[in-house]
Amino acid sequence: MKTLSGLVIGAFALTSVTAVTPALADGHGHKHKNLMMQIEKIVKNKQHAKLIHDRRKEMRALGGNMKKIVDYLKHGKGGPNAVAAAAGAIEVIASKTHSLFPAGTGMDNYAGITGAKTSIQSDNAGFKAAADELATLAAQLKKVASSSGANKGQIAAAFRSVGRMGCGGCHRTYRQKLKR
Ligand code: HEC
């Protein structure tokens, strides 16, 4: 089994923390408004603007929940119960992710302000499957973290799958990283 330090210096753990830092700052009203203002500058359709805003916030919430799990695995903050709660929150978001990416709201219309690739529409079943995969892996992590005999190594292994196959499995194909 891999050591815990092997986990925390793993590529996902690092990128998730850097991806999440601005997301945490965004939890405050001021920055929150900034994202909406940035979006509305480019996206004139109000419904589309709100949708892109809300789904980017949901994605950041995924990052925030992943960070909570890293806090436990890397810093010993919280415990398996907190991990299970975070995994449950990830599962809930994953189960609605597909509905947050309707046709006409992706990069083909709004380049620069959304990272939703056109492949989401051209391979919508694959995109849905990727969201389902995250929900399944998050449910597994929740189960491992909730079981009475759970040890850190098992939780770490389930967490790695969530990051690499859940988040990464979708991002590799369907997401373009935006410039900050
Ligand atoms: C089914 C596909 C899918 C899954 C699964 C997925 N993402 Fe995403 N993610 C996307 C797409 C598409 C975008 C671009 C959204 C946009 O810009 O409109 C994105 C964007 C993001 C962003 C950038 C948000 C911003 O500030 O604009 C973060 C952070 C993120 N995802 C984190 C995660 C984490 C962490 C996980 C796993 C727990 C995850 N995502 C799982 C598809 C997915």
First to last CA, the chain: 37
pLDDT digits (tens, 9 = 90+) for 168-177: 999 999 999 9
The whole-angstrom separation of Cα 140 and Cα 143 is 5
Atom number of ligand 1 nearest to Cα 128? 1
Q: Which amino acid is at 74?
A: K
User: For residue 113, which amino acid is it?
Assistant: I
43: left (phi over 0), alpha (psi -120 to 50) or beta: beta
What is the distance in A from the centroid of ligand 1 to the CA of 2?
27
Q: Please give the mean pLDDT across all residues of the chain.
A: 88
CB under 8 Å to 110, separation ≥6 — which residues? 42, 43, 48, 52
23 vs 62: CA distance, rounded Å: 10
Question: CA separation (Å) from 41 to 7, 22, 35?
Answer: 40, 20, 10
- Best mutation site among 54, 70, 175 for ligand 1 pocket (most ligand atoms within 8 Å of CB): 175
The ligand 1 site (C-beta within 6 Å) comprises 16, 19, 23, 52, 55-56, 59-60, 62-63, 66, 90, 97, 114-116, 127, 130-131, 134, 162, 166-167, 170-171, 174-175, 178
Identify the band that residue 79 occupies on the pLDDT scale cut at 50, 70 and 90: very high
Q: Tokens for 21?
A: 């830092």
Range scoring the smallest mean pLDDT among 27-36, 57-66, 92-101, 135-144: 27-36
Residue type, 162: V
What is the per-residue pLDDT across 130-166, written as a single tens digit (0 to 9) for each? 999 999 999 999 999 999 988 999 999 999 999 999 9
